Structure 1
Amino acid sequence: MGPVDLTSGKTMMANGPDALHLYVAEKFEAAMDRKIPQMEVRYHNLSVTANVAVTVFNTIKRSLAKFAWNKRVVHKEIIKNASGVFKPGTITLLLGQPGLGKTSLMRVLAGQFPKSGNVKIEGNVTYNGVPRDEIGKVLPQYSAYVTQFDKHFPTLTVQETLEFAYAVCGGGMSKHTEEMLSHGAPEQNAEALETARKYFENFPDLVIEQLGLQICRDTIIGSNMLRGVSGGERKRVTTGEMEFGMKYMTLMDEISTGLDSAATFDIITTQRSIAKNLHKTIVIALLQPAPE
Structure 2
Amino acid sequence: MALLHNSTSPKPEETDTAMAELPKASSDNNFPQSLLQLSLFPILLKFEEVVYKVKLDKTKGVCYGTNAGTSSDKTILNGLSGMVCPGELLAMLGPSGSGKTTLLTALGGRLTGKLSGKITYNGLPFSGAIKRRTGFVAQYDVLYPHLTVFETLFFTALLRLPNTLTDDEKVQHVEKVIGELGLGKCRNSMIGGPLFRGISGGEKKRVSIGQEMLINPSLLLLDEPTSGLDSTTAMRIMTTVKRLASSGRTVVTTIHQPSSRLYHMFNKVVLLSEGSPIYYGPASTALEYFSSIGFSTSITVNPADLLLDLANGIEPSDSKIAIDLGDSSEQEKKAVQDVLISSYDKNISTILKVELCSSDVNNFTYGKDATTRNKVNVEQWCTSWGYQFKVLLMRGLRERRYEAFNRLRIFQVTSVAILGGLLWWQTPISHIEDQIAMLFFFSVFWGFYPLYNAVFTFPQERSMLIKERSSGMYRLSSYFLAKTVGDLPLELALPTAFTFILYWMGGLKPSPLTFALSLLIVLYSVLVSQSLGLAFGAILMDVKKATTLGSVTTLVFLIAGGYYVRQIPPFIVWLKYLSYSYYCYKLLLGVQYSEDEVYECSKGEYCRVADFPAVSSVGLSHMWLDVAVMALMLIGYRFLAYLALNRVR
TM (norm. structure 1) is: 0.68
Gapped runs of 5+ residues in structure 2? 1-20, 63-69, 259-304, 310-649
Residue 26 of structure 2 is aligned to residue 24 of structure 1: yes
- Find the partner of 2:58 among 49, 54, 57: 54
- Identify if the C-alpha distance between structure 1 residues 52 and 269 changes in structure 2 by more than 3 Å, giving closer, same or farther: same
Distance change >3 Å, CA 154–CA 23, structure 1 → 2: same
| Residue 142 of structure 1: aligned partner | 133
SS class of match (1:287):
coil
User: CA separation in 2, counterparts of 1:163 and 1:26?
Assistant: 22
Query: Residue type of the partner of 2:140?
Result: F
**CA shift at 1:26, angstroms?**
8.4
Post-superposition offset of 1:206: 2.2
1:250 pairs with 194, 202, 220, which one?
220
What is the match of residue 250 of structure 2? 281
SS in 2 for 1:219: coil
- The question of 1:37 aligning with 2:41 is answered yes
Q: Letter of the 1:24 partner, please give it.
A: S
Deviations 1:142-188 (A, max 9, x none): 2111111111111111111111111121267559xxxxxxxxxxxxx
Instruction: Provide closer, same or farther for how the CA distance between residues 238 and 26 of structure 1 changes in structure 2, counting only shifts above 3 A.
Output: closer
- Asked whether the equivalents of residues 146 and 242 of structure 1 are also in contact (C-alpha less than 8 Å), the reply is yes
Q: 1:218 to 1:202 in 2, by over 3 A?
A: same
CA contact (8 A) 1:21 1:274 kept: no
Q: Output the amino acid matched with 1:285.
A: T
CA distance in 2, matches of 1:221, 1:77: 38
8 Å CA contact 1:53–1:73 kept in 2: the answer is: no
Q: Which moved more, 1:265-274 or 1:148-157?
A: 265-274
Q: How does 1:1-292 map to 2 (within 5 A)?
A: 23-24=25-26, 36-54=40-58, 74-114=72-112, 119-130=113-124, 132=125, 135-170=126-161, 201-277=171-247, 279-288=248-257
Q: Is the 8 A contact 1:210 1:267 kept in 2?
A: no
Counterpart contact for 2:139–2:223, Cα < 8 Å: yes
CA shift for structure 1 position 55: 5.0
Shift of 1:286: 0.6
C-alpha contact 2:226 2:237 (8 A) present in aligned 1 = no
Amino acid corresponding to residue 280 of structure 1 in structure 2: R
Letter in 1 for 2:42: Q
Query: Once the 2 structures are TM-superposed, how far is the Cα of residue 246 of structure 1 from its aligned partner?
Result: 3.3
Structure 1 unmatched runs, 5+:
1-18, 59-71, 176-196
Give secondary structure in 2 for the equivalent of 1:202.
helix
Alignment deviations for residues 168-222 of structure 1 (CA, whole Å, 9 cap, x no partner): 21267559xxxxxxxxxxxxxxxxxxxxx96x55222222222222222211111
Of structures 1 and 2, the larger Rg is shown by 2
C-alpha deviation, 1:273, in angstroms: 2.6
Cα distance in 2 between the residues matched to 1:246 and 1:74: 43
* Distance of aligned partners of 1:173 and 1:90 in 2 relative to their CA distance in 1, 3 Å threshold: farther
Measure how far apart 1:73 and its partner are.
8.3
C-alpha separation between the residues in 1 aligned to 2:23 and 2:180? 12
Rounded Cα–Cα distance in structure 2 between residues aligned with 1:26 and 1:223: 38
Counterpart amino acid of residue 94 in structure 1: M
Bigger proportion of residues as strand: 1
CA distance in 2, matches of 1:208, 1:236: 9
Distance in structure 1 (CA, Å) of the matches to 2:108 and 2:179: 27
Q: How far apart in 1 are the matches of 2:179 and 2:232? A: 15
For the residue of structure 2 that corresponds to 1:144, the secondary structure is strand
Check the 8 A contact 2:45/2:85 in 1, yes or no: yes
- Paired residues in the alignment total 230
Moved segments of 4+, more than 4 Å: 19-22, 25-28, 55-58, 171-175, 289-292
Separation (CA, whole Å) in 2 of partners of 1:251 and 1:171: 22
Structure with the bigger RCO (C-alpha within 8 Å, sep 6+) is 1
- Greater share of residues in helix: 2
Change (3 A) 1:156 1:122: same
Partner letter of residue 120 of structure 2?
T
SS at match of 2:114: strand
Structure 2 CA distance, aligned partners of 1:45 and 1:20?
A: 34
CA, structure 1 residues 110+174, in 2 after alignment: closer, same or farther (shift >3 Å)?
A: farther
Tell me if structure 1 keeps the 8 A contact 2:104–2:253: no
CA distance in 2 between partners of 1:120 and 1:172 (Å) = 35
The residue type equivalent to 2:26 in the other structure is V
Q: Does structure 2 conserve the Cα–Cα contact (< 8 Å) formed by 1:51 and 1:75?
A: yes
- Taking only aligned residues, the RMSD between alpha carbons, in angstroms, comes to 3.5
Answer yes or no: is the 8 Å Cα contact 1:235–1:258 preserved in 2: no
CA 1:231–1:55 in structure 2 vs 1: closer, same or farther (change >3 Å)?
farther
**Identity over aligned residues, as a percent?**
30
